[in-house]
Each structure stands twice: as C-alpha cells, then as structure tokens.
Amino acid sequence: MKARKKHLIPVYIILAVMAFIMILPFVWTLLTAFKTQSEALQVPPRILPSSWSPRNFESVLQVLPFGKFFYNTFAMIVLRVLGSVFFSALAAFAFARLEFPGKKVLFTMVLLQMMVPGQIFIIPAMVSDELALTREGDRVRIEYSAQEGLSNQSTAFDNLLLPDA
C-alpha cells in the first residue's frame, strides 16, 4: 500500500464502525419481524428468532390497506411535482419578463421563503384548519403543493432569468 493511502486506514475504520451503527436498527427490526410476539417482548432480548415465521408479514398485509397507501403516496407525489412545476414556471416568468409594481418586494419575499427550510411547515400544515377541508389528505396536499411551488423555483428562475438571445 502506498504511503499516502496509509493515513486513510483510520478513516475507513471509523466509517465502517459508523455504518454498522447506522445499519444495526434496520437489521434488528427485520429480525424482530420474524419473531413471535412473546419472543419480541422477551427480556433479555434474543438476537435471532428461535423459529423463523412469516406470519407477521401475512397479518400486516391482511390488516392494512397497502394498495391505498401506495395510491395515496403516488397521488401526493404526482400532484406535488405538477403543482411545483406549474407554479414555479408562472412565478419565474412573471419575475423574469414582466414589470409590475412591488416586483422587487415580492421577489425578496420569495427568496426569503426559499431560505427557510421546508420541514418547519410540516407541523403547521397538519394542525391548521385554515382551508377547512373535510379530508386531511386534501388539505395537506394543497398546502404542501403551494409551499413547494414557492420554494422550488430555482431551476425555473435559472432558465428564465437568462438574458434574451
């Protein structure tokens, strides 16, 4: 091994230990899924199940509507992407090509909103009743799409703010 690579050995050891620590909860969860309830709650816990049983997976698939979960996730993603692209393109065009009163103030507000991490909007979106929709999923979809449209405009801005050729 070359001399310049030898100083990387401690780094790789630390990275391997950290990777093991990060993967351990996922391995524990997977192993616990194959245990019976009594084995999973046993103190002290055993790492490997005494008998490997897929019954937990079968019961979860019977109890929970995973088809609906996948549909809701797909619909949420499609609506977010389409809404984000639509609103971003409209806003980018307006800021790049149109002149109107308050343009600089609005553009500054959009830039300030883009600097705030989107995660802080998750709890208020779930708690608020401002839109007064009866179905929780619709309210979250609408609020989140509006936030995405305002916060993901950099690509549209980059394309439309270029000078005309």
CA atoms of 56 and 64, how far apart (whole Å): 12
CA atoms of 151 and 158, how far apart (whole Å): 14
Per-residue pLDDT in tens (0 to 9) along the chain, 165 residues: 566 788 889 999 999 999 999 999 999 999 999 998 888 888 898 888 888 888 888 888 888 888 888 898 899 899 889 988 999 899 899 999 999 999 999 999 988 888 888 777 777 766 665 555 545 555 455 555 555 554 444 444 444 444 443
pLDDT of residue 14: 96
Give the ranges where the chain is alpha helix by DSSP (H).
Answer: 3-6, 9-33, 37-40, 55-63, 66-97, 103-115, 122-127, 136-151, 154-160
pLDDT in tens, 61-73: 888 888 888 898 8
pLDDT of residue 160: 43
pTM score, whole prediction: 0.47
First to last CA, the chain: 54
The conformation of residue 128, written as its DSSP 8-state character, comes to -
Residue in the structure block whose two tokens are 């001399």: 3
Collapsed DSSP state (helix, strand, coil) of residue 1: coil
For residue 161 the two structure tokens come to 């703010």
CB 52 within 8 A of CB 34: yes
CB 93 within 8 A of CB 160: yes
Residue in the structure block whose two tokens are 């936030």: 147
